[in-house]
Amino acid sequence: MTAFTDSDRAALADAARTIDESGMVPGAAGNLSLRRGDRMLITPRGADLGKIDPLDLVDVSLADGSTSPDHDRDSRASSESALHRAVYAAAGEGEDAVVHTHAHYATVVGTLVDELPPIHYAIAAFGGAVRVAPYETFGTPALADAVGAALQDRTAALMSNHGAVVTGRDPRQAVAKAITLEWVASVYYHAIASGREPRLLDADDLAAVVEQIKAIDYKIAA
Ligand SMILES: [Zn+2]
């Protein structure tokens, strides 16, 4: 029995289409997943994210990465399946969707600094400054470990010379946050490209943003 309903499959396929349309996955490089209990549903290896058949999405065990015996399509789990499993292991309670992209500015900034600093209050959506995980070869356990470590107390990480990972409570929110992360990275890139030192927010500023979100029940990146 699969842990995933038809509406889970439709939601993940819809999110993949939105990511494809956003331009953040050049050359079909990117993948998304959704967690239920000890399993995840993930986009297929080499898939065109704009045209995913929901039944080609692959149901994978989080414990050992094995594909469900009920999977009756030829599709195979994304080559970054181990990365997604490590992200769920590091993610907080309720962070049940993962988006991995090769978004332009996130990738550029990931080659320049060790963290994306708080240049805009929207970075509060990720828990603060977004760390850059050191470079490791794609699809390897070393990359999965590096990204898992960078996600400590955060819902996003940049990946040096590679891309970005974002978590969310569901695929729709994870996609919205991936778009926000790319925008914050673009603001930072253009600020430092000016040749001047950008003014940054401090921990008190970010704490006040979190309080204000609670006070007005604002659904950040909803
Ligand atoms: Zn990648």
Over residues 169-181, the mean pLDDT reads 97
Q: Which of 90-94, 132-136, 171-175 has the lowest mean pLDDT?
A: 90-94
CA of 159 to the centre of ligand 1 (A): 9
Q: Domain-by-domain residue ranges, the chain?
A: 6-216
CA of 103 to the centre of ligand 1 (A): 10
Token pair listed for 169: 């409570």
Q: Which of 14-18, 92-96, 177-181 has the lowest mean pLDDT?
A: 92-96
Instruction: Please list, in sequence order, all residues whose beta carbon lies within 8 angstroms of the beta carbon of residue 199, skipping any fewer than 6 positions away.
Output: none
Q: Is the confidence at residue 24, as pLDDT, over 90?
A: no
* Backbone φ and ψ of 213, nearest 5°: -60, -45
Residues of the chain above pLDDT 90, percent = 88
CA of 35 to the centre of ligand 1 (A): 19
The 10s digit of each residue's pLDDT in 65-103 is: 999 999 999 999 999 999 999 999 999 889 999 999 999
Residues of the chain above pLDDT 70, percent = 96
CA of 81 to the centre of ligand 1 (A): 11
The 10s digit of each residue's pLDDT in 205-222 is: 999 998 988 888 766 554
**What is the C-alpha R_g of the chain?**
17
Model confidence, pTM: 0.94
Q: What is the DSSP letter of 74?
A: S
Q: Which residues are catalytic?
A: 80
Instruction: Please list, in sequence order, all residues whose beta carbon lies within 8 angstroms of the beta carbon of residue 159, skipping any fewer than 6 positions away.
Output: 110, 132, 133, 135, 143, 146, 147, 165
| DSSP-based three-state secondary structure for 131 | strand
CA of 143 to the centre of ligand 1 (A): 10
Residues 47 and 11: their CA atoms lie apart, in Å, by 16
Query: Which fold is adopted by the domain 6-216?
Result: L-fuculose-1-phosphate Aldolase (3.40.225)
With both helix axes pointing from N to C terminus, report the angle between 81-90 and 141-150 in degrees, rounded to the nearest 10. Answer: 30
pLDDT at 188: 98
The 10s digit of each residue's pLDDT in 120-133 is: 999 999 999 999 99
CA of 71 to the centre of ligand 1 (A): 24
CA of 182 to the centre of ligand 1 (A): 15
